[in-house]
Amino acid sequence: MTTKPQPPTTHRRIIVRRPSPRLAEGQVSHIPRRPVDPDLALGQWEAYVDAFRSAGWDVIELPRRDEHPDGVFVEDIAFVYGNLGLVARPGAESRRGEIDGLERHLRAAGLDVVHIHAPGTLEGGDLLKIGTTIYAGRSARTNAAGLAQLRDHVEPRGATVVEVPVTAALHLKSCVTAIPDGTPVGYPPLVEDPSVFPGLIPVPEESGAHVVDLGEGRILVAAGCPVTAARFAQLSYQVVAVDIGQFERVEGCVTCLSIRLHAGID
């Protein structure tokens, strides 16, 4: 693993999309379907976005696409590496239309845009970026052709792609993310091959494996992983916890509600 920094983005921005009133109809693959309260979800989403604003991030809001129940989970439709914006091709057919119009917004954010094409499928939730290493989950949503196209786009830009099998959860980032110093954190029952991740910190709560680097020593985690949050605080991180319970009901986590444009761990 190398932590050589990528070309810096000048400031921190997130791309988000307001949740659809049909969020309850979103895909669920590894958990039983449960009801979702759309009003509560909207309030949780607003608090999530506010956590970034409070940490100094600018917010780019994509147009609403209420016909897409999973449209709020924008992490899955793009991947950003330096100045490259990769438009994904979701493995879930119900999510394919979510990419419509995305290229324009990525270009407006100053990115060079490329696309994943059929037969490739790839979802951003399967990509974990630590310095110039991109851990790439091969999952039910991201296939070999998608990963080959990813390599073609990022390796000439200096990245190393490390393929990781993912069968126990939806995406790689459902199992493993990383804290800002580049150390991976994972929930052991879901990490199929821990040897892939040097120095992996095991965490005792599933949602504790989902960390967003907010910058300047701050990290965003979901409420509901207090033991893990206390551990991160001991490592001197300032932990910001947000309740995203309504999104967890449709297998979302704290990473998947935004695309981060920054130079940090992602």
Residues of this chain that interact with ligand CIR (CB under 6 A) are: 26-27, 29, 70, 73, 75-76, 92, 95, 125, 170-171, 173-174, 250-253, 255-256
Q: Which is nearer to ligand CIR, 84 or 250 (CB)?
A: 250
Beta-sheet pairing, 176-178 with 184-186: antiparallel
Beta-sheet pairing, 218-222 with 212-215: antiparallel
Smallest gap from Cβ 27 to ligand CIR, in A, equals 3
Strand pairing partners for 84?
Answer: 81, 112
- Choosing from 171, 175, 253, 262, which is the catalytic residue? 171
Short-list 181, 180, 147, 182, CA closest to 164: 147
Q: Which is nearer to ligand CIR, 73 or 81 (CB)?
A: 73
Smallest gap from Cβ 125 to ligand CIR, in A, equals 3
Smallest gap from Cβ 75 to ligand CIR, in A, equals 5
Q: Which is nearer to ligand CIR, 18 or 235 (CB)?
A: 18
Chain centroid to Cα 138, Å, comes to: 15
CA pair distance 249, 234, nearest whole angstrom: 29
Q: Kind and range of the H or E element at 222?
A: strand 218-222
CA pair distance 143, 122, nearest whole angstrom: 7
Catalytic annotation present for 175: no
Smallest gap from Cβ 20 to ligand CIR, in A, equals 11
CA distances from 90 to 4, 97, 110 (A): 29, 9, 23
Which stretches of 55-122 are DSSP H helices? 102-108
Smallest gap from Cβ 211 to ligand CIR, in A, equals 13
Q: Minimal CB distance to ligand CIR: which residue?
A: 125
Smallest gap from Cβ 24 to ligand CIR, in A, equals 10
CA pair distance 150, 46, nearest whole angstrom: 32
Contacts by residues 97-106 (CB-CB < 8 Å, ≥ 24 positions apart): 97/65, 97/67, 97/68, 98/65, 98/68, 98/70, 98/71, 98/74, 100/65, 101/62, 101/63, 102/62, 102/77, 102/78, 105/15, 105/60, 105/62, 106/78, 106/80
The residues annotated with a catalytic role in the active site are 171, 256
